[in-house]
Structure 1
Amino acid sequence: MNFQLTEERQMLQDSLRRFLADRYTVTARNKAIADPSGYSSAIWRQLADLGVLGALLPEAVGGYGGAGFDIATIFEELGRAGVVEPVLDTAVLCGSLLCGPHGAQPLPRDRQFLERLIAGDLQLAFAHGEPASRYERTWVETTATVDGQDIVLTGRKSVVVNAEAAELLIVSAREGGASGDRDGLSLFLVDPKTAGVRMQGSALLAGGRAGEIELDGVRLSPSARLGTAGGAAVRVESALAAAEVALAAEALGAMETATRLTMDYLTTRHQFGRPIGTFQALQHRLAEMLIKVEQARSAVINAAGHLEGAPQVRDRHIAAARNLIGRTGRHIAEEAIQLHGGIAMTAEYELAHIAKRIVMTEHRFGDADTQLERFIDLSAA
């Protein structure tokens, strides 16, 4: 496996890092968080113009990349800057769902959505998680039943990130099988303004917004189905795998920033007439943070390199990476806050947001314990 970035990825990383360093200040981020949509539409458009959204999708659908290392390169920079714009949910999750399995050709309708997404003209949300699903990937109780010429959706979806800003929801529903089965799962494109869709939005702890969605007899045309009836499990699992690689890389970037801020603080904060960074006990703690960041980097590289592999191998490596990232992230966040003291918790200081981002990344798609269980199950299979 070649760990070196290609020339194109290196150029994209450099451009994105410069852009975020210039534009994504603490003030700009706090303004985006306070926006009713939960993000900055101006920053979103600029990310699209920079080619960031297109780089997350394959060339076959009009993108510029879409491989594991493309995703990891971009999200490490987004995590480093603490970006709250819904790149993960719109471009990675929903973009992957629209693309379909590797090698598949999306319908003309879906290709048009992807073109709009790449241009920054479309916001999407994946309505998949439910009150009882926890971290089970195919646990869906929402039903899709045929009634005459219509398909009727009934059920509830929880913590649908970016739901309020989304022009379209991609909703998972069951056309057959039991709640946790892989077979029988379907996906549907739903306009949130459709009769029977009710949504209650709320702010997320680490920035952005999410919605609780109730589907009460929502009537759709069969053409609203994304892919084949009852065969969406592979599409969902592939999209979640890409999203988990993105999330691991985002956490890595955030850990790098937390460590850098801590190092800067230890060299500027004085006590007893000298920088506290000269105290050996604090040096040892900082050294341990640096070592753990490099371990996390290796895990992200490994997960990104296996994203295009066989599903079982792919998911095993991703679960291992997410487990390590979850444990390491908690350590980095806790150490950064303790070594800073009270200033680390003030909203005006960057670390307060970064630490929250690190901790909350663990709780999407499965915490460290859940990922360990997945790894054991996949290793035994």
Structure 2
Amino acid sequence: MSAAQLVSLTLALLAGAVTLLGLVIVMGRALHRYRDRRNARLSAGVRPLLLELIGGDSGEEVSEPLIRLATLNRRVWRAVEPGAISLLAKVSGNARTALVRLLEQRGLARDALRDLSRFSAVRRASAAHVLGMLGHAEAALPLVRLLSDRNAEVRATAVRALGQIGTAGAASPIISMAGGRAPFQLVAQALIRLGPGARPALVEALSHDDPAARAVAVEVLGLTGAVETAGALVGVLAGDPSSDVQVRAARALGRLGTPVCLNALIHATGPAHRYAVRVEAATALGDLGSPRAVPALRDLLADPRYHVAHSAARSLSRLGRPAAAALTETIAERAGTPAASHAWEALALQDLQAGRPLRLPEAAPR
């Protein structure tokens, strides 16, 4: 076979392959549209039953639509099921209870539990998602096992599902996922959903070897207002080897707002601490909202590190009249210095927040 014939044969084969691929795509789209139309037709007559089920307030009101939906033939139910599952994220209370009852009667939880061990990662992830949506408590242990899955999406879905189910005993395994095996924010969100029952595990995690586990524990304790853990968080702020963990501890203490937080945050603004920690501690003192922080913040206006002084000014702008008096004194005593500029900034922010005309730094030397 000559080179020209070989090229012609190759081009013919490529053209045939492209044509075949185009036919497959067209047929696939046509089949998809056909299935969508068929499912819409099959579910149209059943949709009012679903609305009746989630709209009822008593057992008697939901029993009839529940029975009718639970006994639908398989072909019709397969058309209705996706819509029923999607409703889980949109309803609550009695409506959600009735819907979960229907889905479990249709065997959705049973099938999903079986699919957790499927070879397909898509099937495993879908099963974990369904079990989380259902809040199926019996799935907690299998989902914990799924946290070691080889597929990242499956692991992330399992973390989310465990948070939705709300089993406090899953807190420690979820915390261990913060070190890169699942997205940090997803882990934090799941832990928040576990509620107060997760706090013992979170406190224990403050001494975890992995700084990511310590970081997520600190973050969640602050976000959930765990005031009883303030003392433990003070210890983290003072001595954790990770700058990121200390920064999060300062932020958490600002959110908790207990008296023990004030002195710890003031101390953390000192020059002996890391720069990032000092900046966050100065910011957290504004979150704390205590006038007792004003003297320390006023001193920080003269700090040689810009972001420390800037954060102190922003915090002073949030502390009302005591801060305004301290800022005015700073402008008078330190005219022409960076401290006075930061003080003017804070006063301007106070004016903006109060809806007053801005005070211009006329007295400040040019």
TM-score tier by shorter-chain length is: under 0.3
TM-score, L = length of structure 1: 0.24
Larger radius of gyration: 2
TM-score, L = length of structure 2: 0.24
1 or 2, which has the higher strand percentage? 1
